[in-house]
């Protein structure tokens, strides 16, 4: 006999809670009089005087006396009601006229039990809702619960193949996935799995993406949250959340815990703080994290990955072996890394035939993975706005300019004098860069305002650079001060447009003195304090042990280096004054001049009869592959960020 169970529709289970029953009872109690009145004839409303007159006239059959109303029936069978008035003689009058009298007792349930029940019910309902809070760990009474978001490894959607430019960081993290997949392979010789991995590097290099990819490759649960999510206004909440986080992770082991921006809770503890009980909330959270990292064994299958771009502020106890056993540096991608990133992010972009990814990678040194992705997105938006069918190389050039310098501001109108000052200023930058041998070649000069700049000079790096000599730095100072020198030569005065150039030149000269030991007066000594935010480009300052006398000598040396660079720029532009005037005029006429035109101007001036007395060696540096449109964006004089060391010269 064939079974018919498979054809039956499963019954849906109806959940009836105490709250449903209570609401039904309350609704029936409150709505009962209203419902009954709808199906019965409305009684006649009488004033109290009319009611007493009817009683005296023998027209009242019976009455029901309540606490507030008197209801009854007339001799003709009609119902009536009136408001009760305090009248002691009423009962005597009713008995005298033989009216049937009934009383109505006050219902205690309606009088006080029902309001009390409503209050209790609402209170319990609110408490239950607050405990739930619309989700796990978000209610008022669950603030001590961890706010970590759990993702199964295969659901992260990211693997190491989706990440480009990470280099050796992927190799280090690939070992972690092998630890989590087959720990016995590494434990057979007595080895132990690392407890923690610290990812450090500049912003935008993909530290969070690497952590997600590690979980995706290992196929284990991934708990992620920010360091700031541990601390609230309540004392002890952070420590409680740390405990709850590790409890949840141990239940899902093997698993990965990822804490982004761990410097929010792992900052260095100051001497003397916490000696009287440690009531600082952040410090208690850090102490609990240290205890938890000591508490779980390497065999439990838990791995803690943290990310920060300020490793120098982390507490030494957090960084010691046994807690964060490995430090993985996720730096800015090199040429090969940028090419990998470009291939990944352009996989869904329709590219024109003139786009060469290798060339795009070459002209974007110092860009992080996020910067490269932003350039690709901006290029696609620009091409779409212009109605193109594919993204061309010109779109990428415009996108690089927009990302670095901002959008064009053609609505900012300048008078003729200001326009000529800006043109002379940018011409000074461009000529100094074209004439000096140790700087990047000029690609474009423009007096079209972008962002906060009234004009800009772009230089294209020929290659990635990691070490720079003293002569290169001095030439870079001359280029930075070329705009001020040009203003002084052409107009016999300087303007406020060189403010940014002066700030950058002064900073570079001070670092030459205090960090690189490039001062004969002070010698090969380091006078700068330890960098407090090397990945964030924080300005440096003198060490606290430097005396006031030495600090004054540092100021003198910094001023001397800047002054000599300015004098060099004045001499250089004086010799090539004809080229300076010609380039200034061309900028006033065309607003934008490329590197090829600058080379032609210098070559024409060199062949002119007036150029025979030029300084030997002051020849233009020809740009290789000058027909290619490129931009420069990075000045690698240290490990500082790209935006702080951008060699683009501007006038404001």
Q: From CA 601, how far away is CA 620, in angstroms rounded?
A: 10
Sign (positive/negative) of CA torsion 470, 473, 475, 477?
negative
Contact present, 48 and 82 (Cβ < 8 Å):
yes
Q: From CA 378, how far away is CA 388, in angstroms rounded?
A: 14
| Cβ atoms within 10 Å, residue 322 | 12
Contact present, 238 and 285 (Cβ < 8 Å):
yes
Catalytic residues: 426
Q: Exposed, middle or buried: residue 324 (CB in 10 Å: 0-12, 13-18, 19+)?
A: buried
Q: From CA 399, how far away is CA 630, in angstroms rounded?
A: 11
**450 Rama class: left (phi>0) / alpha (psi -120 to 50) / beta:** beta
Find all residues with CB under 8 Å of 154, minimum gap 6, and list them. 216, 219
Length of the chain: 652
* Distance from the Cα of residue 470 to its chain's centroid: 37
| Cβ atoms within 10 Å, residue 415 | 8
At which residue do the structure tokens 């860009």 appear?
Answer: 367
Sheet strand arrangement including 100-103: 44-45, 79-83, 69-74, 60-65, 100-103
Contact present, 354 and 188 (Cβ < 8 Å):
no
Sheet strand arrangement including 592-594: 592-594, 442-446, 455-459, 649-651
Q: What is the DSSP letter of 141?
A: G
**441 Rama class: left (phi>0) / alpha (psi -120 to 50) / beta:** beta
Both tokens assigned to 308: 């920060």
Contact present, 357 and 346 (Cβ < 8 Å):
yes
Please give the span between the terminal C-alpha atoms of the chain, in angstroms, as a whole number.
Answer: 92
C-alpha pair distances (Å), 122 with each of 110, 127, 502, 532: 17, 9, 68, 54
Peptide bond preceding 549 in cis form (omega within 30 of 0): no
Closest to 443 measured CA to CA, from 245, 297, 632? 632
Q: From CA 145, how far away is CA 136, in angstroms rounded?
A: 8
Pairing of strands 326-329, 196-200: parallel
- Residue 477 sits at the vertex; the CA angle it makes with 471 and 478, to the nearest 5 degrees, is 90
Q: From CA 457, how far away is CA 441, in angstroms rounded?
A: 11
Residue-wise burial string across 117-138, b where 16 or more C-beta atoms lie within 10 A, e elsewhere:
eeeeeeeeeeeeeeeeeeeebe
Q: From CA 89, how far away is CA 56, in angstroms rounded?
A: 13
Both tokens assigned to 598: 């600058």
């Amino acid at each position: 006999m064939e079974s018919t169970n498979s054809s039956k529709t499963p019954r849906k289970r109806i959940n009836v809670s105490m709250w449903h029953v209570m609401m039904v009872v309350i609704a029936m109690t409150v709505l009962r009089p209203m419902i009954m009145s709808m199906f019965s004839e409305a009684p006649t409303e009488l004033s109290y005087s009319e009611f007493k007159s009817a009683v005296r006239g023998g027209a009242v059959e019976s009455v029901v006396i309540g606490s507030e109303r008197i209801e009854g029936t007339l001799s003709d069978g009609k119902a009536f009601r009136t408001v009760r008035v305090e009248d002691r003689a009423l009962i005597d009058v009713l008995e005298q006229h033989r009216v049937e009298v009934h009383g109505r007792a006050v219902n205690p349930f309606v009088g006080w039990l029902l309001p009390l029940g409503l209050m209790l019910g609402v209170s319990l309902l609110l408490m239950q809702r607050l405990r739930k809070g619309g989700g796990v760990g978000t209610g008022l009474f669950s603030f001590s619960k961890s706010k970590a978001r759990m993702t199964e490894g295969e659901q992260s959607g990211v693997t190491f193949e989706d990440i480009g430019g990470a280099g050796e960081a992927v190799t280090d993290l690939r070992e972690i996935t092998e630890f989590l997949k087959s720990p016995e392979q590494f434990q057979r010789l007595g080895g132990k799995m690392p407890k923690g991995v610290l990812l450090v590097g500049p912003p935008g290099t993909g530290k969070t993406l690497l952590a997600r990819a590690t979980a995706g490759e290992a196929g284990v649960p991934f708990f992620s949250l920010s360091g700031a999510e541990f601390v609230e206004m309540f004392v002890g909440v952070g420590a409680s959340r740390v405990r709850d986080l590790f409890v949840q992770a141990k239940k899902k082991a093997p698993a990965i815990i990822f804490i982004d921006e761990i410097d929010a809770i792992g900052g260095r503890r100051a001497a003397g703080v916490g000696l009287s009980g440690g009531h600082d909330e952040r410090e208690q959270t850090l102490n609990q994290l240290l205890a938890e990292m000591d508490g779980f064994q390497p065999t439990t299958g838990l791995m803690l990955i943290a990310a920060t771009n300020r490793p120098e502020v982390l507490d030494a106890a957090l960084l010691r072996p046994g807690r964060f056993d490995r430090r993985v540096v996720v730096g800015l991608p090199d040429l090969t890394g940028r090419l990998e990133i470009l291939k990944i992010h352009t996989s869904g972009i329709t590219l024109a035939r003139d786009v060469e990814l290798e060339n795009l990678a070459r002209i974007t040194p110092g860009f992080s993975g996020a910067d490269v992705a932003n350039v690709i997105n901006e290029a696609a938006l620009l091409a779409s706005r212009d109605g193109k069918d594919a993204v061309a190389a010109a779109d990428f050039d415009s996108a690089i300019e927009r990302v670095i310098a901002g959008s064009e501001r053609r609505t900012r109108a300048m008078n003729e004098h200001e326009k000529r000052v800006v043109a002379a200023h940018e011409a000074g930058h461009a000529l100094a860069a074209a004439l000096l041998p140790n700087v990047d070649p000029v690609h474009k000069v423009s007096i079209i305002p972008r962002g906060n700049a009234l004009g800009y000079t772009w230089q294209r790096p020929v290659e990635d650079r990691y070490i720079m000599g003293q002569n290169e730095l001095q030439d870079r100072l001359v280029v930075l001060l070329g705009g001020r020198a040009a203003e002084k030569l052409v107009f016999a005065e300087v303007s406020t447009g060189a403010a940014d150039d002066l700030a950058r030149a002064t900073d570079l000269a001070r670092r030459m003195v205090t960090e690189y030991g490039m001062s004969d007066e002070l010698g090969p000594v380091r006078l700068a304090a330890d960098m407090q935010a090397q990945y964030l480009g924080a300005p440096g300052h003198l060490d606290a042990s430097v005396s006031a006398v030495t600090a004054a000598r540092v100021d003198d040396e910094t001023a001397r280096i800047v002054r000599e660079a300015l004098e060099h720029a004045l001499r250089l532009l004086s010799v090539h004054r004809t080229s300076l005037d010609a380039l200034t005029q061309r900028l006033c006429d065309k607003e934008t001049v490329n590197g090829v035109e600058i080379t032609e101007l210098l070559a024409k001036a060199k062949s002119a009869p007036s150029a025979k007395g030029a300084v030997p060696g002051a020849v233009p540096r020809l740009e290789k592959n000058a027909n290619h449109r490129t931009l420069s964006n990075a000045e690698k004089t240290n490990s500082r960020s790209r935006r702080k060391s951008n060699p683009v010269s501007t006038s404001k």
